[in-house]
Amino acid sequence: MENLIRKLTETYGPSGFEDTIRAVLRAEVEPFADEIRVTPLGNLVAVKKGRGGEPRRMLAAHMDEIGVIVTHIDEKGFLRFTPIGGVSPLTCLGARVRFENGTLGVIGVEKREDPQKAPTFEQLYIDVGATGRADCPVRVGDAAVFERPFAAQGRRWVAKAMDDRIGCAVLVETLRQIEPVAGDVYFVFSAQEETTLSGAMTAAYGIEPEMAIAVDVTGTGDTPESRPMAVELGKGPAVKVQDAGMIAHPRVRDLLVQAAEAAGVPYQMEVLERGTTDAAATQLVRSGIPSGCLSIPCRYVHTPSEMVDREDVEGAVRVLLQALRIP
C-alpha cells in the first residue's frame, strides 16, 4: 500500500476543493467497482454489488484535508489567510504551503510584543515571492495545503494529510480485495469532513444504508507527557466507543470487535475527547443510521507530519473485510 499512500497524501485536496484528489481516487477504484458516481456535493461513491439481499452497508473515508485560504493581499504582495479545518498557528511558522496552481508559499510571522506567546492567525502571513498585488500569482479565495513529502521510516509512515488519506487507502485496498458479500457495499470518499461533515451526511441520505462505518484517524496517548489515552501506534486499529461528536452504535462497535477477533487482528478501544468523524453525520440521517468508526492511530494529527504504523493500517483492511462477511 505504500505507493498508494504516497500518491494520495502528496495530492492536493483541501476541504471544498477536492477535484484533484477525487480524480486520483477515481482512477484507483474504477477497475474494481461495479458502479461509480460523483454526488452533487463532490463525494466519490464506488459500489460493489453483493450476492443479493441485505444489508446495504456504507464505508466512508474523507478525501479532503486541512489547509488555508487567502483572505487579503496587501500592497507588497503578502497574503493574509484563515484556516480550512483544524489548523493550529503553532504548526504554521516557517511551513511551506502549495496552492492548486502550483504556487509555493512560506508562512511568516510579524514582530510580536511578547515572543513567548503563541502567535495568532492575525499575525501570520504567506510570502509567495511577489513584489506587489500586480504580480501576485494567487487571488483572494485561493486555497493551499501544507507542502510535505511522504516518508517511510521502518514500520512508520509520515506525511501531511494522513487525515484522512490513510482511511481512503484502507477503503481502496478493501475494495480491491473484497469478494461478493450478502448485500451491496458503498465505498464513499467524502468531501468537506474537515469543515462541515456535509459530504458524508448527504451521501448517506442518498444511499440510505442499514449500517455506516467511518474509517478515520484518531489521536494517541503514547508520546512523552501526552494527554492520557488508551491508544498507541502499532497496537492495532482502534474501535471507536465515543468521541466529541457521537457515541458509536453498539451493534456497529460489537461487529468491529467481533471482526477483529475473527481475523486475528489486535485492536484497541477508543474514547476520543476532542474531534469527531463522518460517523457523527451519518447517524443523524433520515430516521438514524447505526454508525461507528474504525480508527487508525495517528500521532501529530492536524500537523504537516502525521505518523501512522503500517501494521495498524494493514490490520484495518483485514478487519473491514471480515466485518463485511458477517451478515
Active site residues: 193
**First CA to last CA across the chain, in angstroms?**
28
Q: Are 202 and 41 in contact (CB under 8 A)?
A: yes
Give the integer Cα–Cα distance in Å for 262 and 255: 10
Share in percent of the chain as helix, strand, coil (round to 5): 25, 30, 45
- Cβ-in-10-Å burial (0-12, 13-18, 19+) of 1 comes to middle
Enumerate the H helices of the chain as residue ranges.
2-9, 19-29, 162-177, 198-207, 250-263, 279-282, 310-325
Nearest to 210 by CA among 308, 125, 287: 287
> Can you tell me the distance from the alpha carbon of 184 to that of 50, in angstroms, rounded to the nearest whole number?
4
> Closest by alpha carbon to 240, among 327, 324, 319?
319
CA distances from 301 to 3, 29, 275, 280 (A): 21, 26, 11, 19
Count of Cβ atoms closer than 10 Å to residue 77 Cβ: 19
Using DSSP bridges, classify how beta strands 185-190 and 44-48 pair: parallel, antiparallel or unpaired.
antiparallel
Place of cell 502550483: 102
Tell me if 46 sits within 8 A of 176, measured CB to CB.
Answer: no
